[in-house]
Amino acid sequence: MLSDAAAGKGGALMVQGGPGIGKTALLQAALDGVPALRVLRAVGSQYEMELPFATLHQLLFPLLTMLGDLPGVQARAVRVALGMESGGPATTPLISFGVHSLLAVAGGETPLVCAVDDAHWADRASAEVLGLVVRRLARLPVAFVATVRDPVPAFAGLPVLRLPGLTPEESRALLNGHLRTPIDPSVRDRIVAEAQGNPLALLEFPTAGAGGFRIPLGGRLPQTLEAGFQRRLAALSPGARRFARLAAADPTGDPALVRRAADTLGLPRSAIAEVEATGLIEVGSPVRFRHPLVRSALYEDAGPGERRMLHAALGEATDAGVDPDRRAWHAAQAATSPNPWLATELERLAARAHARGGLAASAAFLKRAAMLTPSRRLRARRLLAAAHEHREMGDRAAALDLVALAEDAHSDEALRAETSVLRARVLFDRARNEGAVRALIAAARRVGPVDPVLGRDVLLDALAAVTFLGRFADAQLLPELAAEVRALPAPEGRERPVDLLLNALVTRVEHGGWPDPAVLGPAIDAYVRDVRDGARQFGLGELWLVCSAAEDVWDDAHFLEVAERQLHYARDSGAVVSLPVALSYQALAHVHQGRFDEAQRLVDEAYGVSADIGAPHMVYVDVTVAGWRGDEARVHRLSESAVRDAAARGEGRLLTAVEYANAVLFNGLGRYADAADACQTSARLDEPSFPPWVFPEYVEAAARSGRLAEAREVVVRLERRAAELDSEWCTGAALCARALVTDDLAAADLYREAIARLARTRGRIRLGRARLLYGEWLRRNGRRRQAVTELTAARALFSEMGAHAFVARTDRELLAAAPGRRTTGLSEREDVVARLVAGGATSREVAAALQISPRTVDAHLRKVFTKLGITSRRQLRDRYPAGG
């Protein structure tokens, strides 16, 4: 890959393995082997994970003089992210564009390699930006290599080179080559066994004198290695040991900074040579440690008092004009008593970090600010603010610990009300059940009198929570919640989008579950304006409720837009706790468009995030994708586990998702009675956001299994909704549903109008289904030529999506409509184009049917003529006598 970069073709690679396995050594050997590359290096630091964009600053520092060559908006985004310029926060995508452009400028002079060692310790903001950048390197002379212990979510999907441990034979060879004196075979075998194939352990244990006897490794390899490093450094003079600890306390690796701090401490210059002689530290540019564990061993070896002294020296040596964040951080680590000025400065830095998406940094700054705050009330406020950051990051345990500290710090009623809110929200993050809803309502009642705005925000959270309960919700819970909202009106003159949304959702409850587009529409529009402007932050439940509301009014344009922006917002803000829902809604948006592979990728990511933060898994879209793909075994497996989980948690909404997925599966397989049975309850319940998915599925299943009366009841509901809405999606679905229960020839007009309406949406799954249903109707009414045209178009859509059961169902209909179909050697798409043209369709009509351009149709047609040895459309009709 590095050779390719030197030749102008970029790429990325993760080198993954445990501590001491040889990642850094391999990376350095590779870099030494390609001298034509300019190397940009950064090292992730566990002590710097709280500082947003710290790793990115290290990596790009040599290129900052080139920022003037970038477009203004990109240059500003990078400067703001790196703290070089003040101003409003830039989004992660915009920063990534700026970094990409900067690398392109630099790579134009000399091919580059960006090497990030210990990327698992990179701060989250840097990782998110680099994760976007490295996916666009193919056309640049830039390679990206990162060493990681475990997968980093931001780099998911990139090529990985996994370094396994050495085999016993390799371990013995390495050990024998390293030993200076003979060793008893039993001792050697003990060392090999305890090292578990780890090269660094094999090299360090004999030197440290462990001999394989004193401390059995078990699962404590890093701690054992640290102890060995500490023993080796114990032989140094006091000044050299302090210099080594000073270097470990500095996250930047800046040798000039470390030397200035050493001068402040009065350390002798000979300390540097003494430290380097151990082979554990190299005071070059930058300062390098033989292994990250060397650094942690040194830092841990210093007592609390010495650490404060080291940070004080580093803070004094740090230029406040160049790096005010890190100077304040060092000063905070050095502080021994309350310091109101420093606490205020840290709070300001926390706000900056939050705006840049650095929630971990913000929380760390706020916690330290609280410890330096003499006022008990203000200390409690800062602790509670830090708790909110931890909750958004998905670290519930830390959030609750800080809540307890805040309550101990001050007994103010308003603060205690806010702590009850945070506890209730954490409870909902952990379990989407009635207990969580009740806790949120109780918290809203407590906080409402002292903070009506926060009270209404909590009631919105409660409405979001009760949505998950679905059929398991107590009958009085929604009316009770609606009454709470009405009892806590919005402050005069301050109606926010959240208030519009609350009013719309409560109106739905009061109208018996029927969505009122006149109330929901303005609320959705207000949120769409806000997400486009990026002018404010959103509560964790707001945007997915807007997605749900857009589905309720069958507004697929706004549903798709808000789903996409919700995911960007969750990523950019660092709000990990909201990521599973955001990922799931974006995945559902992909399903609507027939992009099942993209949907599954997001579903898999949502599983990983949920596992990381201990939240219930979002099975909703996973089982839906499996249903559309016709994967009966997976649908069955997911359904069984989901039903158990839903019953255990009281999460009725999950049951509805499972029933819908099973209905899709069975309709694809042609098992219509099973499909109708699967979603009968869901169709009756009419839960928020589900009608656009469930209603058409049930009508098809019921109509095809002879339950016409039941099908017509849902058709009437669909038509009533379509009459109230200005929605091509809803109108198209209603027309298609009416055609299914219409016996006479009028069904043809209904199908055609439904297809025209649905073609104007982005819902390819419904368009494909409408074409399939119309083709089946045509075939059953003896119109074989027209049937083949519609069925072929439907098959093309299903094939591209990967809707395998529907492909098979369509093929059965095509076989019945055109039993003389022949294999021609054409590609799938070429065969589809050939059949449509043979049926009399123009290039423009084929383009509309397949959702491609007329020019692309003509290109396919030229290939068809060449492969079939013909020159005209007339000859093509002769090759497809069944009519296409």
The predicted pLDDT at position 49 comes to 73
477 sits in which H/E element: helix 477-487
pLDDT for 612 beyond 80: no
pLDDT: which is higher, 849 or 817: 817
Q: Retrieve residue 879's tokens.
A: 């090759």
pLDDT in tens, 268-320: 989 989 988 888 788 887 787 766 567 767 787 788 889 899 999 998 998 87
Mean pLDDT of 540-557: 87
**Residue 325: exposure state from Cβ atoms within 10 A (0-12, 13-18, ≥19):** buried
At 181, the pLDDT band (50, 70, 90 cuts) reads very low
- Please report the domains of the chain, with CATH numbers, ordered by start residue: 2-162 (3.40.50), 168-219 (no CATH), 233-334 (no CATH), 495-611 (1.25.40), 619-708 (no CATH), 725-819 (1.25.40), 822-884 (1.10.10.10)
**Residue 593: exposure state from Cβ atoms within 10 A (0-12, 13-18, ≥19):** middle
Among 101-110, 305-314, 412-421, 823-832, name the one with the lowest average pLDDT.
823-832
DSSP state of 16: E
14 sits in which H/E element: strand 11-16
326 sits in which H/E element: helix 324-334
Mean pLDDT of 141-164: 91
The predicted pLDDT at position 180 comes to 47
Written as one letter, the residue type at 151 is P
- Report the 10 Å Cβ neighbour count for 539: 16
538 three-state secondary structure:
coil
Distances (CA, A) of 827 to 824, 833, 877: 9, 10, 18
pTM: 0.63
Among 85-99, 140-154, 334-348, 610-624, name the one with the lowest average pLDDT.
85-99
At 390, the pLDDT band (50, 70, 90 cuts) reads confident
The predicted pLDDT at position 883 comes to 44
pLDDT for 690 beyond 50: yes
Mean pLDDT of 359-385: 85
Contacts of 15 (CB under 8 A, 6+ apart): 23, 26, 27, 145, 146, 147, 148, 160, 161, 163
The predicted pLDDT at position 464 comes to 81
43 sits in which H/E element: strand 38-43
At 221, the pLDDT band (50, 70, 90 cuts) reads very low
Contacts of 305 (CB under 8 A, 6+ apart): none
pLDDT: which is higher, 4 or 206: 4
